[in-house]
């Protein structure tokens, strides 16, 4: 299915024209409450005068299965014929569940059933440059506290609207962390065992785009925001083809244990996974892959590219969490072995433990952890 791409800078006539073109009569809008701070909120109020917009915001970050069930029920009651997600990963996860489960019976448990195609268009408007969810077939939902990854081609939005003006109000920490998420998508996709010519091209363009736009993006400059939004989308296209690897598999527990952002956690993991892979790649095909990755990073050698990533990460001045001694066992046991299989050298459980010790080795004093928690 060819995805329709639209671009704007705060002018939503392009969206209205598209909705009219596809014959939308009622629009189901999935968005977090933070949409009220964005100019786009008024655009949907204006649109509501011509195409009724029914809003759903009843979900938390890292949404639960129950949130998705409520969203599906609300969608059915609304008689809407199109779904739009405006937000980061969570709004898109919920909207994807609505698309996937719209025609299934809740009583039979949505997770137990095989979704079948429906004609409801699914539109995505990302408000961060990070998850790339607007380009992927993946959705994440928590069922009784356990992460459930859904993967279905039906989840790939049929249309995407990229509006860099939405990035203007991003808080500093989330600005940095979402960019790191996109960069890790590009890097992990590049070395994934599922990588091929097409996915590497997406990765390469994503990595170059992120590095080229980094400075202006961190300054909240319109040009930097626009470039980063495009790059994050391309990184999403890359992982849609390859999935992520051990960096992401290891990062999820860090986010819940220390309440740090997903992209921050992923970057901490990739910063140690990368040298781990490099050390074991000598004389193998992986060495060529990592050399190509180094070139994509604008570096002549693998160590240079690892150093560049580490310097980028440390230049953001993000605090490394302080672990408790008992955390390492929790972290080691949290890693889903199936999620590691995309990694070109699959770390064993002892290696996972050693990597977590390296990842969390840079922490400062105990109050550093407390300072970090206060940010949320
Ligand atoms: Fe990610």
Query: Of the candidates 301, 289, 211, 283, which has an alpha carbon nearest to the alpha carbon of residue 245?
Result: 289
pLDDT, average across residues 83-103: 96
Mean confidence (pLDDT) of the chain: 93
Between CA 319 and CA 314 the distance in angstroms is: 9
pLDDT at site 362: 66
Residue 239 near residue 185, CB atoms below 8 Å? yes
Instruction: Give residue 130 CA to ligand 1 midpoint distance, Å.
Output: 7
Instruction: Give residue 20 CA to ligand 1 midpoint distance, Å.
Output: 33
Instruction: Give residue 58 CA to ligand 1 midpoint distance, Å.
Output: 23
Instruction: Give residue 255 CA to ligand 1 midpoint distance, Å.
Output: 11
Instruction: Give residue 36 CA to ligand 1 midpoint distance, Å.
Output: 25
Between CA 231 and CA 212 the distance in angstroms is: 10
Query: Of the candidates 268, 285, 283, 280, which has an alpha carbon nearest to the alpha carbon of residue 346?
Result: 280
Residue 298 has pLDDT above 50, yes or no: yes
* Lowest-pLDDT choice from 51-55, 133-137, 365-369: 365-369
Instruction: Give residue 316 CA to ligand 1 midpoint distance, Å.
Output: 18
Residue 279: count of CB within 10 angstroms of its CB: 10
Residue ranges with CB less than 5 Å from ion ligand 1:
181
Angle at 77 between CA 72 and CA 80, to 5 degrees: 80
- In sequence order, what are the beta bridge partners of 277? none
Residue 374 has pLDDT above 80, yes or no: no
Instruction: Give residue 243 CA to ligand 1 midpoint distance, Å.
Output: 10
Residue 368 has pLDDT above 50, yes or no: no
Instruction: Give residue 25 CA to ligand 1 midpoint distance, Å.
Output: 34
Residue 84 near residue 123, CB atoms below 8 Å? yes
Q: What is the largest CA-CA distance in the chain?
A: 64
Instruction: Give residue 131 CA to ligand 1 midpoint distance, Å.
Output: 5
DSSP E strands in the chain: the ranges are 4-7, 27-31, 53-56, 82-87, 122-126, 138-143, 146-151, 159-162
pLDDT at site 305: 98
Instruction: Give residue 31 CA to ligand 1 midpoint distance, Å.
Output: 20
Q: Where along the chain do its domains lie?
A: 4-167, 172-374
Instruction: Give residue 38 CA to ligand 1 midpoint distance, Å.
Output: 24
User: What 3-state DSSP class applies to 138?
Assistant: strand
pLDDT, average across residues 72-96: 96
Instruction: Give residue 135 CA to ligand 1 midpoint distance, Å.
Output: 12
The class level of CATH for 4-167 reads: alpha beta
Instruction: Give residue 160 CA to ligand 1 midpoint distance, Å.
Output: 19
pLDDT at site 114: 86
pLDDT at site 117: 82
The class level of CATH for 172-374 reads: mainly alpha
pLDDT category at 365 given cuts 50, 70, 90 is very low
Instruction: Give residue 107 CA to ligand 1 midpoint distance, Å.
Output: 32
Instruction: Give residue 27 CA to ligand 1 midpoint distance, Å.
Output: 28
Residue 36 near residue 44, CB atoms below 8 Å? no
pLDDT, average across residues 261-268: 97
Instruction: Give residue 17 CA to ligand 1 midpoint distance, Å.
Output: 32
Residue 333 has pLDDT above 90, yes or no: yes
Instruction: Give residue 338 CA to ligand 1 midpoint distance, Å.
Output: 17
Instruction: Give residue 244 CA to ligand 1 midpoint distance, Å.
Output: 8
Instruction: Give residue 22 CA to ligand 1 midpoint distance, Å.
Output: 31
Tell me the two tokens of residue 173: 């920490």
Q: To which residue do tokens 């590497």 refer?
A: 200
Instruction: Give residue 98 CA to ligand 1 midpoint distance, Å.
Output: 21
Output the CA torsion sign for 3, 44, 61, 316: positive
């Amino acid at each position: 299915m060819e995805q329709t791409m639209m671009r704007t800078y705060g002018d939503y006539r392009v969206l209205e024209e598209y909705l009219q073109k596809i014959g939308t009569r009622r629009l189901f809008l999935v968005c977090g409450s933070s949409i009220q701070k964005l100019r786009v909120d008024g655009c949907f109020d204006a649109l509501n005068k011509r195409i009724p917009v029914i809003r759903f915001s009843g979900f938390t970050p890292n949404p639960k299965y129950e949130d998705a069930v409520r969203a599906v029920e609300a969608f059915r009651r609304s008689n809407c014929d199109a779904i739009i997600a405006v937000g980061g990963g969570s709004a898109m996860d919920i909207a994807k569940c609505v698309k996937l489960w719209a025609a299934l019976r809740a009583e039979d448990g949505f997770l137990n059933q095989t979704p079948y195609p429906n004609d409801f268009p699914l539109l995505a408007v990302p408000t961060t440059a990070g998850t790339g969810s607007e380009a992927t077939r993946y959705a994440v939902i928590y069922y009784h506290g356990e992460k459930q990854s859904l993967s279905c081609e039906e989840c790939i939005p049929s249309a995407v609207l990229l509006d860099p003006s939405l990035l203007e109000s991003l808080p500093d920490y989330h600005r940095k962390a979402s960019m790191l998420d996109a960069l890790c998508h590009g890097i992990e996709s590049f070395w994934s065992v599922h990588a091929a010519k097409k996915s590497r091209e997406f990765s390469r363009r994503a990595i170059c785009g992120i590095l080229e736009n980094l400075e202006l993006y961190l300054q909240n400059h319109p040009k930097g925001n626009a470039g980063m939004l495009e790059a994050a989308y391309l990184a999403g296209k890359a992982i849609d083809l390859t999935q992520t690897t051990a960096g992401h598999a290891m990062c999820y527990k860090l986010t819940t244990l220390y309440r740090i952002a997903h992209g921050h956690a992923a970057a901490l993991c990739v910063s140690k996974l990368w040298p781990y892979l490099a050390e074991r790649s000598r004389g193998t095909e992986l060495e060529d892959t990592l050399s190509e990755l180094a070139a994509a990073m604008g570096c002549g050698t693998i160590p240079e590219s690892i150093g560049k990533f580490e310097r980028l990460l440390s230049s953001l001045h993000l605090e490394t969490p302080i672990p408790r001694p008992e955390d390492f066992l929790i972290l080691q046991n949290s890693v889903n072995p199936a999620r590691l299989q995309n990694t070109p050298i699959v770390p064993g459980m002892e290696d996972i433990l050693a990597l977590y010790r390296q990842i969390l080795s840079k922490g400062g004093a105990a109050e550093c952890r407390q300072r970090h928690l206060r940010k949320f």
